[in-house]
Chain A
Amino acid sequence: MRVDGTARSLRVVLAEDSVLLRDGLIGLLTRCGHEVVAAVGDADALLTAVAEHEPDIVVTDVRMPPDFQDEGLHAAVRLRETRPGLPVLVLSQYVQRSYASELLDSGDGTGVGYLLKDRVGQVEEFVDALHDVAEGGTVVDPEVVRQLLRRRRDPLERLTPREREVLALIAEGKSNGAIARELVVSEAAVGKHIGSILTKLDLPPADETHRRVLAVLAFLRA
């Protein structure tokens, strides 16, 4: 867990209609040294609260009043249209590629996260993901990643199993170091795999972080 000197304290706007869970999230975020500047219960209030507080990151539920459809997700997409690069972490009760890709298609795909609500309980993982997203990373829930890996379709068909594994970990928001630790290989080996993945996905060398996001997007759309 990175609740130490290196991690900055984030100003968070939280949107969650269940009071019970909202209180739990506020407690969790406060406990980890972040400040919840506004906690709201519906999508309209979310838009207003973001305009008012200009937070570092928005954490929102997908399903919210009044219709309990995907208001939260759409509010997030709209927020990112007017404020490109605003980090948004969306919590969903479902594993849904459609939600994840709609979110990632908003803006350039950096600074977004799509996590299952279950993941909030894994406090360390959740807070790590929060930081990654706030710093412009892209985080996709491992459950979505797992489902996507079952579909061995173009363009992923060109990748070796190891490369797919690495790509999946990138999608989960892991750094090269973290990937190396997880797969028990050297960081140089991870770098080599990533290079090969980017080549196979036709992503010519450019800004390194940006290409990683594009690779995740390609992965999601596969």
Chain B
Amino acid sequence: MTGPGFLLSWWPWRSIAYLFTGAVVGLAVLVSIVTVAAVGGILAVVLVGLPLLVVTALSGIPVARVERRRLRLIDLDPAPDQHRTPPAPGLWPWLTTRLREQTTWRELGYALLFGGLLWPVDALVVTVALLFPLSMTATPLLMATVGDGTEAKVLKQWTVTSWPAAFGVAALGLVLLGLCAYVLGAAAGARAELTRLLIASREGELGAKVVELARSRVRLVDAFEAERRRIERDLHDGAQQRLVALSVTLGLARLDAPPGPLADQLTKAHEQAGKALAELRELIHGVHPKVLTDYGLQEAVADAADRSVVPVDVDLELPGRPHEAVEAAAYFVVCEALANVDKHSGASRATVSGGHGDGRLFLEVRDDGRGGANTDGGSGLTGLADRVSVLDGRLALSSPPGGPTLLRVEIPCELTERPDRSA
């Protein structure tokens, strides 16, 4: 807006368009809101008006949408919609999402401010800043037409009676028009800033982004868990069943085969099928153990303890089941910790203990080994710490050289009722 280039650019026109449409839209907003609210308020007595009142509450949304579009007239930066996507299609999820959002209420506030206060200001600015200089510029024209070439009134205040005076006023009007263009530009700019602050502020945008990022992280973890389970199931109901069937067929063939090279080959094939099955079984277990799905964390940890080479005592009492992602993260932490105990610690005994209290699940794995474990250097623990942190949990490790090692995990979660296994 600095420099004479401004006057020749599109910006004065854009400012006028912005303020002018602002006045028109604002008036429309005022009329609509007042009408809907009044009708809704009256009909609320007979309950049919209540939906209308909800519509009133939501009226900020379309207004803000129009305003964000209008903002592009004089603001090159995009003004993003800060509403969240509803979790499911349909009117009800949309409605509950919107009504719970801060953005909706901020937009309603803006709509009320717009309808009540801002549009008259828009109208006033555009009228004054255009009408005064234009009518001054038009003085010679007025004198030639309505004034019969003898007199003309400037701004209905002063009378000019001579042509030189009339042209002087017109010249003054042109200068004033140039100045008013700046005024219009400044007014439109300030007005746009206010709009952006109220319905598309950067801070709100950033906050919304952080919330969205946190959500998408949780969604990713959930998707990851679902995918694990799908893979486990596919392997299980496909490859593993076929291998068992193959093994049965080979076993039967062995019974029928006469002793000789054929029987030896069959024996070899049968053994290989058996090995493949055992490997596949371990692989599937590592992907997502069935016991975790069927019996929950307590049993799955007991099962992991069963598999450990180092004897493990388990002391874990849970009155219910945590969310699947929490369960899985906790389970894999225990597995990794026990694997580390087996591989690195040189411990003769380990303990897994845990429970649920103060809205969080906590687990401790301790061993009497030589210690010195750390979460750096690309150990499996780093990945686990990440998994736990996604769930807002914490993983703490104490492992001084010489031992003992203590790994503690805390994940905030609620427990759901344990499903009745006897049913």
Question: When A93-B281, A123-B251 are in contact, do A98 and B291 touch as well, CB less than 8 Å?
Answer: yes
CB contact list, A18-49 vs B, under 8 A = 18, 20-21, 23-25, 27-28, 31
Residue pair B248, A121 in contact (C-beta under 8 Å): yes
Closest to B233 in A: A68
Known: A63-B236, A69-B294. A18 touches B241 (CB 8 A): yes
Residues of A close to B299: CB separation below 8 A: 98
| CB-CB nearest in chain A for B423 | A74
Chain A, residues 142-180, CB within 8 Å of chain B (1/0): the string is: 000001101111000000000000000000000000000
Interface: B193 (CB within 8 A): no
Whether the Cβ atoms of B311 and A152 lie closer than 8 Å is yes
**CB of B131 closer than 8 Å to a CB of A:** no
The answer to whether A121 and B311 touch across the interface, beta carbons within 8 angstroms, is: no
User: Do B252 and A123 touch (CB < 8 A)?
Assistant: yes
A70: chain B residues within 8 A (beta carbon):
294
Q: Answer whether residue B308 sits at the interface, using C-beta atoms and an 8 A cutoff.
A: yes
* A-chain residues with CB within 8 Å of residue B291 when the two chains form the complex: 94, 96, 98
Q: When chains A and B are docked, how far (Å) is the Cα of A30 from the Cα of B290?
A: 32
Residue of A nearest to B270 (CB): A121
Closest chain-B Cβ to A58's Cβ sits at a distance in Å of: 18
Number of A-B contacts (CB under 8 A): 103
- Interface stretch of the complex, out of B7-15, B84-92, B272-280, B409-417: B272-280
Complex contact A97–B250 (CB within 8 A): no
Report, as a range, how many residues of chain B touch the other chain.
35 or more
Q: State in angstroms the CA–CA spacing of A22 and B293 once bound together.
A: 25
B56 on interface, CB distance cutoff 8 Å: no
Q: Which residue of chain B is the closest to A73 with respect to CB atoms?
A: B294
Contact A147 B307 (CB under 8 A): yes
Known: A94-B285, A98-B295. A24 touches B248 (CB 8 A): yes
* Chain A count of residues within 8 A CB distance of the other chain: 34
In the assembled complex, B242 has its CB within 8 A of some CB on chain A: yes
Contact present for A148 and B306 (CB under 8 Å): yes
Most B CB contacts (10 A, CB to CB) among A21, A31, A102 go to A21
Q: What's the minimum C-beta distance from B51 to chain A, rounded to whole angstroms?
A: 41
Query: Given A20-B241, A28-B252, A94-B291 in contact, is the A118-B247 Cβ separation under 8 Å?
Result: yes
Hey, what's the 0/1 contact readout for A96-108 against B, CB within 8 Å counting as 1?
1110001000000
In chain B between 339 and 358, which residues have their CB closer than 8 angstroms to a CB of chain A? none
Q: Are A121 and B241 in contact (CB under 8 A)?
A: no
The contact of A121 among B274, B285, B289, by CB within 8 Å, is B274
Picked from B284, B285, B293, B311, the residue with its CB within 8 Å of the CB of A69 is B293
Contacting residues, chain A, for B233 (C-beta < 8 A): 68
- Say yes or no: A25 contacts B248, CB within 8 Å: yes
Whether the Cβ atoms of B247 and A31 lie closer than 8 Å is: no
Shortest Cβ distance from B268 into chain A, in angstroms?
14
B237 near A31 with CB under 8 A, answer: no
| Bound-state Cα–Cα, A118 to B250, Å | 12
Within 8 A of A (CB), among B287-303: 289-291, 293-295, 299, 302-303
Mask of A68-106 contacts with B, CB within 8 angstroms, 1/0: 111000000100000000000000011111100010000
| Known contacts A63-B236, A97-B303, A148-B306; A21/B248 CB under 8 A | yes
Query: Does B305 make an interface contact (CB < 8 A)?
Result: yes
A6 within 8 A of B: no
A-B contact pairs, 13 of them (CB 8 A): A21-B248, A24-B249, A28-B252, A68-B237, A94-B291, A117-B240, A117-B277, A118-B247, A118-B277, A118-B278, A120-B251, A123-B255, A150-B307
The 3 closest A-B pairs by CB, nearest first: A121-B247, A24-B248, A123-B251
